[in-house]
Chains A and B, each alone.
Chain A
Amino acid sequence: MKLSKNLVPGFLREISEDSDVCISSRIRFARNLENHLFLLKASLKEQEEIIEEVKEVITQLNHFQFYSDDKLNEIFLNYLLERYLVSPDFVLSKNKKGVFIDSEEKISIMINEEDHLRLQVLGGGFSLDEVFVKINEVDDKLEKELPYAFSEKFGFLTACPTNLGTGMRVSVMLHLPGLILTNEMEKVIKTTQNIGFLIRGIYGEGTKTIGSYFQIANQFTIGMKEEEILANTKNLIREVINYERKARDYLLKNLKNEIEDRIWRAYGILTHAKLLTSEEAINLLSTLRLGICLKIIKKISLLTINILTILVKRANLMYYLKNENLTEEERDYKRAALIRKVLKGKGEEEDI
């Protein structure tokens, strides 16, 4: 079965030379309006006014779809969260909120998350430079029309002091199974934290990570120019990408049989299982991804893995199947069926 590319956000369709390790790149700017109280103090009425004011400006910039409270039910919010278009805090927030999303699903602007505005631009692979250009374009356009809260000393004024100054968070999603399997991940985490960067698993709570996916981001936002923050974060990420590649080389040289066995077992389960939870599916697809990068699996593309990794998540699966009322067991069954259909025979041939 062939899956349409359009099932996933634009940035997950872009496969580039660093996509073997770096899944996607993201930059977000936190901005607030001078003429309104921050969300800690803004009444629901004021929160509505903020949405109206921002809406007036953003709807002039074309190709944005706007979703507000009436459309943002629990499942739709999680659908957007699973696609990285809104944040976990946005989903949980009791504020009057809204989100603008561009037609390609690469730009999103959250209104009334922790700050009045959270602009975010996403790109495929390791593409922070392009993402940086793009987010500045959007930010500059908005800045001409909206009275951003700004001070010479503290820069862009944000609700939380951890975002002060540039309000900029640069991050990437990395796939690091090599570092996990060679027991090097602990070291990478400690070093990253010691030099002032944030690192955490993408899925799962605390130290329990699923699928060897990690996010690395800058911790500090003030005292440096945006370009410096970008360059420093990029340097670190480049190091981690290279380290992961070295770990994979090591595995191929020293543990080839074990790695091959692990990958084909994952393929075996994915193509034959009748029930799969999203966690198990994401884990197995992660192993399959490693197999593709190590050229052990040759007929499945990284794009297919990207699409499946989104589609197997709870809300996205229900949206894809156009049935929001599936029980957990029904979802596990349908999830396994979908994966089987897409991957069956793919040991042999490729059609995506």
Chain B
Amino acid sequence: MEENLCQICHKNVAVMVITEIDEKGNKVEIAVCEECAKKKGVLESDKTLNLNEIFKIMLKAREKEDKELKCARCLLSFYEFKKYGKFGCPDCFKVFEERLIPFIKRLQTTIREREDEIFHKGKKVTAGTKRSLLFSEIKKLKIELKKAIEEENYEQAAKIRDRLREKEKELKKDEIE
């Protein structure tokens, strides 16, 4: 399990817990492998092999990571996704994609093995829908952009403009294909 890997090299299995000062000047506990501990100058005799402790620290780190991975559109974090078991919007899938693939495999197969990763093989939406959706979104974003400029909310306007460009690019790509 990746959960047990050293938090410095991410390669070897963690065997001990050391205390460090992070960028913000806070004392943090991290789980490391023997090699990295040596590099950090931690002596062999200081070694505290406590699996329970290591596991707790790993879990905490994972939790922090999960809380930071957040969908910009609906503000759902991966931590909340795991807690509720539900997505917040269609954009969550792009943001969480990498983490989702193993998760879905666990959830959607029996113990008997299937292919490594499972993806959709069924029915697809037709191109017409995708295009009509893009058109309607572009229209909506243009209205929002105009409104944001009128309200002199430039920060918001910049955000909308970025999304608008993205959608226009998608539409063009769609036309070429």
Contact = CB atoms under 8 A, between A and B. Distances in A.
B89 A150 contact: no
Task: Specify which of B109, B120, B136, B140 lies most central, judged by the most chain A CB atoms within 10 Å of its CB.
Answer: B120
B114 interface: yes
B88 A153 contact: no
Interface in A118-153: 136, 139, 143-144, 146-153
Contacts of B74: 37-38, 41
Summarize A's interface: helix, strand, loop or mixed.
loop
A147 B129 contact: yes
A177 interface: no
Interface stretch (A64-72, A162-170, A244-252, A261-269): A162-170
Given A161-B103, A161-B104, A155 B87 contact: no
B122 A224 contact: yes
Contacts of A60: none
A326 B73 CA distance: 49
Given A41-B89, A143-B129, A164-B108, A222 B118 contact: yes
Contacts of A159: 86-87
B137 interface: yes
Task: Specify which of B75, B126, B128, B129 lies most central, judged by the most chain A CB atoms within 10 Å of its CB.
Answer: B129
A30 B76 CA distance: 21
Interface residues of B, number: 40
Interface string B54-95: 000000000000000000011110000000111111100110
Contact of B108 (A34, A162, A194): A162
A169 B151 CA distance: 47
Nearest to B71: A41
A121 B66 CA distance: 39
A221 interface: yes
A202 to B, nearest CB: 24
Contact of A222 (B120, B124, B133): B120
Task: Specify which of B73, B104, B109 lies most central, judged by the most chain A CB atoms within 10 Å of its CB.
Answer: B104
Contact of B87 (A40, A136, A223): A40
A124 to B, nearest CB: 25
Nearest to A158: B87
A329 B143 CA distance: 61
Contacts of B121: 165, 223-225, 228
Interface residues of A, number: 45
Contact of A35 (B86, B87, B133): B133
Interface in A148-197: 148-162, 164-166, 168, 194-196
A162 B107 contact: yes
B69 to A, nearest CB: 16
Nearest to B73: A37
Contacts of B93: 151, 153-154, 157
B124 A150 contact: yes
B125 interface: yes
B123 interface: yes
A220 interface: yes
Interface string B113-147: 01100111111111011101100110010000000
Contact of B90 (A144, A157, A162, A223): A157
A259 B109 CA distance: 41
A280 interface: no
B100 interface: yes
A152 B174 CA distance: 14
A161 B85 contact: yes
Interface string B11-22: 000000000000
Contacts of A194: 110
A144 B126 contact: yes
A85 to B, nearest CB: 24
- Among all A-B residue pairs, the 5 with the closest Cβ atoms: A155-B120, A223-B118, A147-B133, A149-B90, A41-B88
Interface of A: 32, 34-38, 40-41, 114, 136, 139, 143-144, 146-162, 164-166, 168, 194-196, 220-226, 228
21 contacts: A38-B74, A38-B88, A40-B76, A40-B87, A40-B88, A41-B89, A114-B86, A139-B123, A149-B90, A151-B90, A151-B120, A152-B120, A154-B93, A156-B120, A157-B93, A161-B107, A162-B107, A164-B104, A166-B122, A196-B109, A226-B123
